[in-house]
Amino acid sequence: MRPRTSSPNRLRVALIIETSNAYGRGLLHGIKAFVREHPHWSVYFAEGARLDRPPPWLARWRGDGVIARIETKAMARAVRAAGLPTVDVSAARLLPGLPWVETDDVAIAGLVADHLRACGLRHFAFCGVRGFNWSRWRGEAFAAAVRQLGHACAMHQHPAPDDPAASWDAEQDALAEWLRSLPKPVGVMAAYDPVGQRLLAACVAAGLAVPEEVAVVGVDDDELLCELADPPLTSVAPDTRRTAYAAAHLLDALIAGRVAVPAGAAAVRVPPRGLVARRSTDVTAVDDPRLAQALRLIRDRAGCGLGVADLVAAAGMPRRTFESCFRRQLGRSPHAELARWRLARVSDLLRDTDLTLDAIAEQCGFAHAEYVSALFKRSTGLSPRDFRACHRRR
């Protein structure tokens, strides 16, 4: 092992963690929290992507330890050659003798299965990424969780979105064809958010309605990616801060000699923070395609002066029959469902824009801002002004 050359009172730790995705940046936030509480740490890292080559400086760097996402064989060789105490925060397990800290994929998959089942869905599928342990583990855990609920799970493997050898047109066609083949309505877990985004695009190509026919859940809760998806993507939020903090705590103890490398380098698995529900799963599953058509119309045109008569026409049913079926399947009236979607849009615009309440009312299909204000307060307990102020403080 390389001898220490740094100050005895200050530890120099290298971070080999990508900054190109939300998961890597979340880990860096966790390291930042540890450093603030442990001023004897000094960290060094450079911007990078998940599959980058090993940094040239690592071969000549004289520090005390490393926290690394070891995702390639070249990176594994470079970290091994460095000869420093190291904690791995990758699921690839290319250096199985190292201690490692990872997300709890079983807990992640269980959250997704429970959420989709609560939407009333009885058909399930998983779309993974070829060649990655974390994707395989999540797929196996999701299939097991679905089986415990008494259902089967269809499986599909997709190349990684950053794979330069993939033919994206062909893969997108294959993904659309797979989605068409699934029984509907179906809940699909994506191995992570970029695959979730591709699933949503494939649904458009296949002419499938999201979430009425296909409800999609990703993993990592990359906020920008999820919010820019159409519709916004529901996702599981891993506890990256706690994961990285645990890795830093373990490395600190290894450097100080307070602990030895665990026998077999067993993993520390950190459960997720929770599931962030967005529009891609905002559905109550219905078996009647006529009701599904009405729900699709609500999603697409709720803010465009849509009325119950338009829904009746879209469903092609007598009004009394339509309203009775709607209540039986969804537990609320068509008018209440329209109001629910409009108020959800009001919430989004209050939170994410500086539009006046008059402008928001117009965009959401309400005639008067005063009516929106009263309805919103009755629904949420907050006035639109207070709701906006609360989210701005956050």
pLDDT at position 393 is 58
Report the mean per-residue pLDDT for the chain.
87
β-pairing, 41-44 vs 11-16, is parallel
Domains in the chain, ordered, with CATH?
11-102+240-272 (3.40.50.2300), 105-238+276-281 (3.40.50.2300), 289-393 (1.10.10.60)
pLDDT, mean of residues 127-138: 93
Cα dihedral 133, 134, 137, 140 in deg (nearest 10): -110
pLDDT, mean of residues 147-154: 94
β-pairing, 234-237 vs 267-270, is unpaired
The greatest distance separating any two alpha carbons of the chain, rounded to the nearest whole angstrom, comes to 82
pLDDT at 305 over 90: no
pLDDT, mean of residues 244-270: 79
pLDDT at position 265 is 55
Composition of the chain by helix, strand, coil, percent to 5: 50, 15, 35
Q: What percent of the chain clears pLDDT 90, i.e. is strictly above it?
A: 52
Q: What percent of the chain clears pLDDT 70, i.e. is strictly above it?
A: 93
Tokens found for residue 365: 């299909």
pLDDT digit string, tens, across residues 261-301: 654 456 789 999 989 989 899 877 677 788 878 887 887 78
pLDDT at 22 over 80: yes
pLDDT, mean of residues 313-318: 91
- pLDDT band at 156; cut points 50, 70, 90: very high
Tell me the Ramachandran region of residue 363: left when phi exceeds 0, alpha when psi lies from -120 to 50, beta otherwise. alpha
Task: Please state the pTM of the whole predicted model.
Answer: 0.76
47 vs 30: CA distance, rounded Å: 16
pLDDT, mean of residues 332-350: 85
Q: Of residues 366 and 281, which shows the higher confidence score?
A: 281
pLDDT at 3 over 60: no
